[in-house]
Amino acid sequence: MKRRMLLLHITAIITTAGCSMAPYQHSPQDTPRASQERPLSQTKHPQSKPAPSPSPSELVKARLYEQFQEWKGTRYQLGGMSKRGIDCSALVLLTYRDHMGIQLPRTTRYQARTGKAIKRSQLRTGDLVFFKTGRRGRHVGIYIENGQFLHASVSRGVTISHLSEHYWNSRYWRARRLDIDGRS
């Protein structure tokens, strides 16, 4: 019995060693003929499907979050248009210019006249939201989704806030829709 087990182990070792030492030789059947070869673009891959194209709204949302990441924490400075300090209308102007290819007026006053007036209940990604922050003061941000908007806050700098926050809810004034990628 011991002899039989020893012989079995030796045979297994030789067989395994023989498999790992001999290089694989291609047989003529393994090599595709020129008529069988296809460019990779014509090769069918059943498991791979093209990714669905994001909607215009999803693209705008991605651009807004990208802008937020780039400017996050930049302090508020009235009249500012740089990373050293920026005001609300400048953030809106730069976001639309750099990420949507749309030129807007510099001030909140004139931005509030741009585009089409919409109801609060109709807000969509990319819409401008305006607030009355004082007797003559105005503030602007860009609606993202689910009540959130991007803006340059006097107290927190560039940030994302929620329309339902008491301060913003009580000062909400109007919203405007611009033609972004034909979505007006």
Catalytic residues: 88, 139, 151
Asked if residues 158 and 152 have their Cβ atoms less than 8 Å apart, the reply is yes
CB-count exposure of residue 128 (10 Å: 0-12, 13-18, 19+): buried
Count how many Cα atoms sit within 13 Å of the Cα of residue 44 in the half-sphere of its side chain.
Answer: 1
Q: Which two tokens stand for residue 175?
A: 């919203």
Is the C-alpha dihedral spanning 100, 103, 109, 113 positive or negative?
A: negative
Residue 12 CA, chain-centre distance (Å), reads 57
| Residues β-bridged to residue 86 | 76, 81
Residue 66's nearest CA partner among 103, 95, 106 is 95
Q: Distance between CA 103 and CA 130 in Å, rounded? A: 18
Q: Helix, strand or coil for residue 40?
A: helix
